[in-house]
């Protein structure tokens, strides 16, 4: 019989009911799938929005740099009130007015050309950053989604195990009452039941935490009936099947590698830009002016002037600043080269790790599928043996626990295969929202937990 205090039982029951109300409260709307979750997250994600804002800001650098290659026009106006007092004439006060329009057109300024080319490369960096932010969001949403499914599986496993233990506990009590079993069987079943209650509480709390993490990404409460993997779904190996093709793709197309490669090109152009500090500059200049003077030799005069020409500026000596900037740019170019090499190594290692994760995960899925069948057979055998008296209660409980744990591990292994597949594509810069739609084809309507 149950020897726990009644107050303890009531407290456990109340806690379970409270968490059940929290975890299983009904929500309106149909089941959410991965694509819908990503679209919801994409609309509000601050990382993607920040990358887009940064890209829009960087794009404005192009017209700013282009302005250094185009004519500039300035206008000036000066009005002065003057007073003249000499011993030759009475004191006079008068106003002078000067107006001018000046045009300058750069004919030869190689620094400005390099600045313009660098601005276009900076836009390419911003585009790669935005693409990486979107790719990372796909991975983050998928991970949060599968974390919820895994938490649901754990809770379902514990509840199924708890139901089976409850039946085994009732059977042990009946057998003890009729004298065909000892009190030990009942106590073992009671111990397993108490442990399952504690595990259920922890699993319900973990599910709520995982739901909250997904809700934070999508910006709204997550439905209780998320779509789940179809039973016995067949998972496909990566395509192409050769590891070297994925690692080479990562070395070339990974978004971090793309940014590092463009940054290295910007750094190389910076060396040329600084070297052009030794070169002369040539500008076309033109001006048009008008002057009004009310008292030139005490006679009012108005004049208009115009001019056009070229202006050559030759740097002779600037204290060694240009050479120092060239050396600085060269050192930064070397750093960008090392950064590029490191980015390629990291991308290659990530691709290799994800590729091996997919293949080892598929092997693990196959092994767990076989283990599930074996565990089911073992449970059936132990239940039959318990009924005929050749197995004891603890054997049945252990077999039940092994079966439910195997099923939970099998579901988790499938999620890991899918996640590693997404990460593998992400490392190669090939992850797109359509990859989520392909996973959605493997899902079906789930039951609320």
pLDDT given for residue 11 in this prediction: 46
CB atoms under 10 Å from CB of 48, counted, come to: 18
pLDDT given for residue 370 in this prediction: 92
pTM of the model: 0.82
423 found inside a domain: yes
Measured CA to CA, the distance from residue 75 to residue 101 in angstroms comes to 4
User: Which CATH number does the domain housing residue 96 bear?
Assistant: 2.20.200
Task: Give residue 165's domain range.
Answer: 30-70+109-279+315-444
Domain shared by 425 and 367, yes or no: yes
Measured CA to CA, the distance from residue 79 to residue 59 in angstroms comes to 41
pLDDT given for residue 282 in this prediction: 94
Domain shared by 226 and 286, yes or no: no
Domain shared by 82 and 64, yes or no: no
360 found inside a domain: yes
Long-range contacts of 12-19 (CB under 8 A, 24+ apart): 12/197, 15/201, 16/197, 16/200, 16/201, 16/204, 19/201, 19/204, 19/205, 19/208
> Which tokens in the block code for residue 142?
């998928």
Domain shared by 265 and 370, yes or no: yes
25 found inside a domain: no
Question: How distant is the alpha carbon of residue 94 from its chain centre?
Answer: 70
pLDDT given for residue 95 in this prediction: 82
Predicted confidence (pLDDT) per residue in 199-235, tens digit? 899 999 999 999 999 999 999 888 888 899 988 888 9
Question: Could you report the average pLDDT of every consecutive run of 10 residues in the chain (449 residues)?
Answer: 43 40 44 91 95 96 95 93 75 84 94 95 96 96 95 88 77 69 72 84 93 93 87 88 93 96 96 93 93 63 88 90 94 96 96 95 93 89 80 74 88 94 95 93 77
Domain shared by 297 and 328, yes or no: no
For residue 83, the cross-strand partners are 93
8 found inside a domain: no
User: Which CATH number does the domain housing residue 239 bear?
Assistant: 1.20.1600.10
Domain shared by 204 and 304, yes or no: no
Domain shared by 50 and 88, yes or no: no
181 found inside a domain: yes
Measured CA to CA, the distance from residue 141 to residue 226 in angstroms comes to 13
Cβ atoms of 279 and 110 within 8 Å: the answer is yes
Domain shared by 293 and 204, yes or no: no
Domain shared by 128 and 198, yes or no: yes
**Residues 142, 147, 151, CA angle at the centre, nearest 5°?**
150
**314, 331, 361: which is the final residue of a domain?**
314
pLDDT given for residue 30 in this prediction: 67
pLDDT given for residue 23 in this prediction: 38
Domain shared by 66 and 205, yes or no: yes
Domain shared by 369 and 251, yes or no: yes
Asked if omega into 253 is within 30° of 0 (cis), the reply is no
**314, 337, 365: which is the final residue of a domain?**
314
Domain shared by 286 and 182, yes or no: no
Measured CA to CA, the distance from residue 371 to residue 367 in angstroms comes to 6
Cα-trace Rg, the chain = 38
CB atoms under 10 Å from CB of 194, counted, come to: 15
The closest alpha carbon to 421, from 347, 356, 345, 366, belongs to 356
The closest alpha carbon to 46, from 140, 142, 170, belongs to 140
- Domain count of the fold of the chain: 2
């Amino acid at each position: 019989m149950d020897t726990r205090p009644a107050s303890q039982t009531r407290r456990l029951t109340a806690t379970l009911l409270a968490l059940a109300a929290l975890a299983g409260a009904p929500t309106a709307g149909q089941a959410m799938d991965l694509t819908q979750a990503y679209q919801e997250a994409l609309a509000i994600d601050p990382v993607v929005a920040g990358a887009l804002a940064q890209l829009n800001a960087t794009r404005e650098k192009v017209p700013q740099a282009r302005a250094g290659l185009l004519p500039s026009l300035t206008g000036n106006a000066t009005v002065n009130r003057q007073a003249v007092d000499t011993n030759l004439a009475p004191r006079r006060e008068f106003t002078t007015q000067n107006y001018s329009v000046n045009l300058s057109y750069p004919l030869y300024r190689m620094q400005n050309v390099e600045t313009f080319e660098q601005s276009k490369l900076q836009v390419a960096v911003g585009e790669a950053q935005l693409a990486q932010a979107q790719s990372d969001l796909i991975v983050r949403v998928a991970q949060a989604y599968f974390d919820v499914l895994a938490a649901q599986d754990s809770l379902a496993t514990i509840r199924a195990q708890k139901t089976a233990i409850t039946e085994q506990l009732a059977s042990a009590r009946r057998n003890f009452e009729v004298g065909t079993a000892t009190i030990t069987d009942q106590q073992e079943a009671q111990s397993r039941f108490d442990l399952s209650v504690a595990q259920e509480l922890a699993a319900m709390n973990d599910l709520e935490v995982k739901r909250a993490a997904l809700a934070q990404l999508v910006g709204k409460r997550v439905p209780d009936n998320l779509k789940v993997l179809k039973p016995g779904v067949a998972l496909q190996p990566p395509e192409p099947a050769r590891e070297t093709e994925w690692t080479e793709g990562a070395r070339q197309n990974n978004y971090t590698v793309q940014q590092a490669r463009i940054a290295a090109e910007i750094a190389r152009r910076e060396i040329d830009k600084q070297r052009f500090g030794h070169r002369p500059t040539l500008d076309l200049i033109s001006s048009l002016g008008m002057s009004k003077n009310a008292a030139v030799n005490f006679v009012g005069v108005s004049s208009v002037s115009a001019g056009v020409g070229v202006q050559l500026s030759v740097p002779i000596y600037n204290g060694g600043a240009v050479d120092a900037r060239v050396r600085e740019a060269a050192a930064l170019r070397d750093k960008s080269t090392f950064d590029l090499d490191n980015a390629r190594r990291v991308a290659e290692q990530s691709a290799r790790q994800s590729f091996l994760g997919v293949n080892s995960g598929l092997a693990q899925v196959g092994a767990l599928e076989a283990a599930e069948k074996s565990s089911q057979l073992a449970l059936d055998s132990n239940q039959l043996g318990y009924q005929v008296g050749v197995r004891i209660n603890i054997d049945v409980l252990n077999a039940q626990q092994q079966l439910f744990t195997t099923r939970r591990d099998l579901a988790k292994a499938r999620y890991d295969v899918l996640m590693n597949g997404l990460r593998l594509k992400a490392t190669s810069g090939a992850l797109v929202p359509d990859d989520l739609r392909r996973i959605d084809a493997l899902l079906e309507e789930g039951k609320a937990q």
